[in-house]
Structure 1
Amino acid sequence: MRTISVITAAHAPSAHYLAETARSVAAQQLPPGWACEWLVQEDGEAPALADRVGGARYACNGARLGIAATRNLALARATGELVQNLDHDDVLLPHALATLITRFEEHPVHWAVMSADDLLPDGTRRPFPPDLPHGPVPPGAVNRWAEERGGNWPLHGGGLAARAETLRALGGWTGVPVDDELGALVALSELTPGWHDHAVTWLYRKHPAQTTNSSLYPGLEHTGRRIALQRAKALRSTGLRVSVERPATGSHEVALGPNIRQAPGS
C-alpha cells in the first residue's frame, strides 16, 4: 500500500474542534491501493489529547516547542510519500485526499495547495476567491506574486501538501514562531513546480481562539512574512533548482548508532 501522511500539530488549550478534525480524517475516501496515516503531535508541557485522537499515531513533545518544531517532529515519524498539513481546528472534506493523490499522480509536481472555504462560527461556509490561476504553477511564480503585493501570498500555507522527500530536503517547516507554513511554501514554490487546484477540499475554520487571532508572540505580526520574502529572494539569487521532476520515493527509515560526542555515562 502507498501512504499519504496527514500531519496535525495540536495544543490542548486551543484544540476545541479537534474531534471534528478527527472525524474528517476518518471519513476520507481513498483511491484503491492507498492508505492514510494521521500523525498528531501535541505541543506543551501538559499533554491532554491522547484520548481525543482515536486512530491517530499520537506523540507528545513534553515541552512547549512551538508549531514549527511540532510539525517537524511529526514529519520525522511520517511514512507516507505524500504529506498533507491539517491544523487541529480545520476540516478535510471526504474527497480531499483522493483529489490530492490524483493530482500528484497526474502531474510532475512537488507541492500542491487545494482550494478552501472559510468555516464561520455559525457553521456556514464562505468561499475564498482565488488570487492565483488554477492548474500548474511554475517555480517562482507564487513568490513573485507576493513580492509585488507587499508580502501577501496568493495561497494558504495551512493547506500545504508536498512530496515528503522534497519537504524534508528543504528543511520541513521553517523554524520560526510565526508563519512557519509560509516559509515552507516559499521554499517549495521557488524551487519546484506545484499545483493550485480549483476543487474545494478543506475548510479553514474562523474562530476567536485561532492562533492568528491570539498570537503568543506579540510584536511579530510582520516578522514571518518578512522572513518569507527574504527566503524567496535568497533562494532566487542562488539559482538553485530541484532538477528531479518526479522524485523517487525514499524510505523514511534511517539507522542511528550511539552518539559518539556524548560523554560515557551521561
Structure 2
Amino acid sequence: MSASVTRHVVVVTAVHPPSARFLPDAYKSLCEQRLPQGWEWHWVIQEDGGSEDVLPYVPEDERVTFRQGRRGGPGVARTIALARAKGEYVKVLDADDQLAPGVLARDLAALEADPAIGWVTSRVLDLWPDGSTAGFPGDPPDGPIERGEVLGFWKANDFRAQVHPASLFVRRDLLVALGGWMALPASEDTGLLLALNAVSRGWFSAEVGLLYRKWEGQATGQAPHVDPDERAARMAVAEARALALAEFGWGYPANGVS
C-alpha cells in the first residue's frame, strides 16, 4: 500500500521590523488551527528587506520557513514567498494579525466543496491595544459572492470593499495566474481582491476568521497611506485592472463551470 500524500495550505506573511514583535501571537493563532486528516499548513514568512531585527521573533518549527529579500513592499514580499512552498491553497496572514479559531478548516472546506469557487474571505474584527474587539457594519450574508459584486460595492462606498482582503484564502493556481499581489505601495491586497472577483466567484464566511490588529505603527495608519493623490492613483489602477479582466472575458474555472 502506498503512503498517503500530505496536502498543504501555504500561509504567507510579509513582515518588516516594526511588526516582527507580533509574530509570536500570529504563530500561536496558527498552531491552534485544526485541519482535516491528510492536510498540514506551511508558514512562509518573508521579510520585506534584510534586517537583523526579525529573525529573533521567528519560531523554531519545521513547518515555518523564513526568508529575506530586497525591499519592495508587502505585496512583493507575499508574491516572492509563493516560491518558497508548494500547496494547493494560499492563506494570507499579516504579521500583526491573528487567525480566529477554526478559520483554516472552514476556508478549506468551502473550496474543497465547490470547484467553481475561487477564493474565500471571512468576517474580521478589529483588535485594539486594550484587547477589545469591534466588528464592521454591513458584512454580507454567509455564502457566495458573485463575480463583480466586490467592485460594485467598492465603487459605491468610497473605495471600501464589503469583505476584507486580509482574510483571503485562495486557490494557488488562480493567485499565480493573476500575478500575485499588485505592484502598489499600498492597497495591493484590495487590488488583488478586485481582480479575483472580476474572474471568479468567491465565498464569504460570516464566522469571525481574523483579528485585525490596530496599533500605532501599522502602514494603513500612516500619512502616506491617505495622501489624496496617491490614493486616487491606487484606486484608479486597481479599478482599471478589474474592469479589463472582466472585459476580456477570462474566468475561473477555465472550463466554464459555474
What is the TM-score with the length of structure 1 in the denominator?
0.86
* Residue matched to 1:21: 26
Summarize the Cα distance change of 1:145–1:96 in structure 2 as closer, same or farther, 3 Å threshold: same
Query: Does residue 1:222 correspond to 2:228, yes or no?
Result: no
> Partners of 2:71 and 2:120 in 1: how far apart?
30
* Residue matched to 1:185: 193
Cα displacement (A) at 1:91? 0.2
> Could you tell me which of 7, 10, 16 is aligned with 1:5?
10
Greater displacement, 148-157 / 17-26:
148-157
Q: How does 1:75-114 map to 2 (within 5 A)?
A: 75-108=82-115, 109-114=117-122
Secondary structure at the residue paired with 1:223? helix
> Partners of 1:215 and 1:5 in 2: how far apart?
32
> C-alpha offsets along residues 78-114 of structure 1, whole Å, 9 cap, x if unaligned?
3110101011000012311111111111223111101
> Partners of 1:96 and 1:151 in 2: how far apart?
26
Ranges in structure 1 where 5+ consecutive residues have no aligned partner: 248-266
**Alpha-carbon contact 1:178-1:223 (below 8 Å) kept:** no
> Partners of 1:140 and 1:22 in 2: how far apart?
34
**Alpha-carbon contact 2:20-2:53 (below 8 Å) kept:** no
> Partners of 2:15 and 2:133 in 1: how far apart?
23
* Residue matched to 2:54: 49
> Partners of 2:242 and 2:174 in 1: how far apart?
17
* Residue matched to 2:76: 69
Summarize the Cα distance change of 1:237–1:11 in structure 2 as closer, same or farther, 3 Å threshold: same
> Partners of 2:166 and 2:255 in 1: how far apart?
24
> Partners of 1:21 and 1:218 in 2: how far apart?
27
Percent identity of paired positions between Structure 1 and Structure 2: 35
**Alpha-carbon contact 1:151-1:226 (below 8 Å) kept:** no
Matching residue's letter, 1:90: D
Secondary structure at the residue paired with 1:15? helix
Summarize the Cα distance change of 1:139–1:218 in structure 2 as closer, same or farther, 3 Å threshold: closer
> Partners of 2:78 and 2:223 in 1: how far apart?
18
Query: Does residue 1:198 correspond to 2:203, yes or no?
Result: no
> C-alpha offsets along residues 27-82 of structure 1, whole Å, 9 cap, x if unaligned?
21111111000000011242422231212211011x22211111111012231101
**Alpha-carbon contact 1:151-1:229 (below 8 Å) kept:** no
Secondary structure at the residue paired with 2:231? coil
* Residue matched to 2:169: 161
Matching residue's letter, 1:221: R
Matching residue's letter, 2:190: L
Q: Aligned pairs, how many? A: 246
Matching residue's letter, 1:32: Q
What is the TM-score with the length of structure 2 in the denominator?
0.88
* Residue matched to 1:244: 254
Query: For the aligned residues, what is the CA RMSD?
Result: 2.0
* Residue matched to 1:257: none
Matching residue's letter, 2:241: R
Matching residue's letter, 1:29: R
Secondary structure at the residue paired with 2:134? strand
Cα displacement (A) at 1:215? 5.1
> Partners of 2:255 and 2:248 in 1: how far apart?
20
* Residue matched to 2:3: none
Matching residue's letter, 2:29: S
